[in-house]
Amino acid sequence: MNDSSLNISIEDVTKSYGDFHALKEVSLEVTSGEFLTLLGPSGSGKTTLLMVLAGFTSPDYGSVKFGEKEVVFEPPHLRGIGMVFQNYALFPHMNVAENVGYPQKLRGVSKEETRISVENALSTVKLDELGHRRIDELSGGQKQRVALARAIVFKPKILLMDEPLSALDKKLREEMQIELRQLHDSLSMTTVYVTHDQKEALTMSDRIAVINDGQLMQLGTPNEIYRRPNNAFIADFIGESTLLPAKVKNGIATVGAAKFKGTQRLKKDGDFMLVVRPEKLFIANRRARDANYFEGVVKDSIFQGESQLMVIKLDPQNYGDRSLRIRLPNGSTNLGELPGVDEKIVLGLKIVDSYFVEATNGGA
């Protein structure tokens, strides 16, 4: 806990639009100073939740607290949050410095102080010397930075961002992800970030809240979410994965015809899914006891620059019409020695990487 940030407690927040349940009793604690990402596909309710935090949407019921203070009835302008919108929402009739100085002007900060804080904010986002520019003279990346400077100039304790990078091209977006994260670390305000881009979420967040169908599906560090997804939806949504159906009986899993050992203890009988990440597979020349194995035939082998992607059609007798993808990092593998198309191959998956999720959620 420090004085430049506040924790956020969200409790039972529910919002419906007619028959559509945008949020269903969402409860979530955002720790002070944390970078938390609300991740979900479009229409999942993540933006609605952010708008509830910002005060633009009132929940049907539930509570939102900033620190100890209940804010659910506070209008947006009294919440003291910084917010960055998806399409920047800069004021086209003001120049860069006027945009950034706007919150300060509202707060009655003196001209001199405003000038200094605007300069500081602009230099934080690496836009020194651009204060006099008109908004329509800026590139997309610069607009994004101005929007950010405007949101942090008054040192809010909470910063909300609604897909701020979605309009930028891939390269710039990846640069900005790292920059935003560094910015968060240096300003140490509580940040709630909304995105549908799982990679962005994994890159930037302290913790990720996966939201789907108006519900909080899982809350955890990027590592936890990636390695130990709660259900088939998350396993499929986060990262690349293939889900193979598995049957569990008396704690023993069967995938295809083979018994598989998993990393977790399976207490329940029923239908499960084995989550197979392409980068966790390896080509097995001999079989050891610490892994599970698949047999198949190479269908496709694609050079992708930093890695080689192979599509393996699994033995149809045991697996039906299913295939797996294996990703071999370029450099660690001698690409010339890989089996060619239509050749037989044995893939291994370490037991520690063999993770099952319940199949009830639909999945792949």
Partner 1 sequence: MVELEQNLNQAALTQLARREHYTFFGLTLPYLVLVGAMIIIPIGWLFFLSFVGRDGSFSFENYERMINSKAYLRIFITTFKISILTTFFCALFGYPLAYFMSQISRKWANICMIGVLIPFWTSLLVRTYAWLVLLQKKGLVNSVAVDLGLLSEPIKFVHNTSGTLIGMVHIMLPFLILPLYANMRAIDPHCVKAASSLGATPTRAFWTVFFPLSIPGLLAGLLIVFVLCLGFYVTPAVLGGGKVIMAAMKISSNIELYFSWGAASALGVVLLVVTMLILLIASKLVSFDQFGQRS
Which residues lie near partner 1 (CB under 8 A)? Answer: 54-56, 75-77, 79-83, 85-93, 102-103, 106-107, 135-136, 143, 150-151, 154, 160
Question: Which one, 14 or 86, has the nearer CB to partner 1?
Answer: 86
Give min distance, CB of 55 to partner 1, in A. 8
Give min distance, CB of 145 to partner 1, in A. 14
Question: Which one, 80 or 245, has the nearer CB to partner 1?
Answer: 80
Give min distance, CB of 244 to partner 1, in A. 44
Give min distance, CB of 89 to partner 1, in A. 4
Give min distance, CB of 20 to partner 1, in A. 16
Give min distance, CB of 274 to partner 1, in A. 44
DSSP-derived secondary structure letter, 351: G
DSSP-derived secondary structure letter, 95: B
Burial (CB count within 10 angstroms: exposed 0-12, middle 13-18, buried 19+), residue 171: exposed
DSSP-derived secondary structure letter, 330: B
- Give the type of residue at 102: Y
Give min distance, CB of 137 to partner 1, in A. 12
Question: Which one, 107 or 199, has the nearer CB to partner 1?
Answer: 107
Dist CA 331 CA 154 (whole Å): 48
* Sign of the CA dihedral with 244 first, then 247, 252, and 256 last: negative
Dist CA 272 CA 357 (whole Å): 6
Which token pair is 98?
A: 């006027």
- Provide the 10 A C-beta neighbour count for residue 173: 18
Question: Which one, 135 or 217, has the nearer CB to partner 1?
Answer: 135
Dist CA 205 CA 19 (whole Å): 33
Phi, psi of 259, rounded to the nearest 5 degrees: -80, 135
Question: Which one, 151 or 180, has the nearer CB to partner 1?
Answer: 151
Question: Which one, 77 or 170, has the nearer CB to partner 1?
Answer: 77
Question: Which one, 98 or 224, has the nearer CB to partner 1?
Answer: 98
Q: Do 229 and 238 touch, CB atoms closer than 8 A?
A: yes
Place of tokens 């399976």: 266
140-163 burial, b if ≥16 CB within 10 A, otherwise e? ebbbbbbbbbbbbbbebbbbbbbb
Q: How far is CA 62 from the centre of its chain?
A: 25
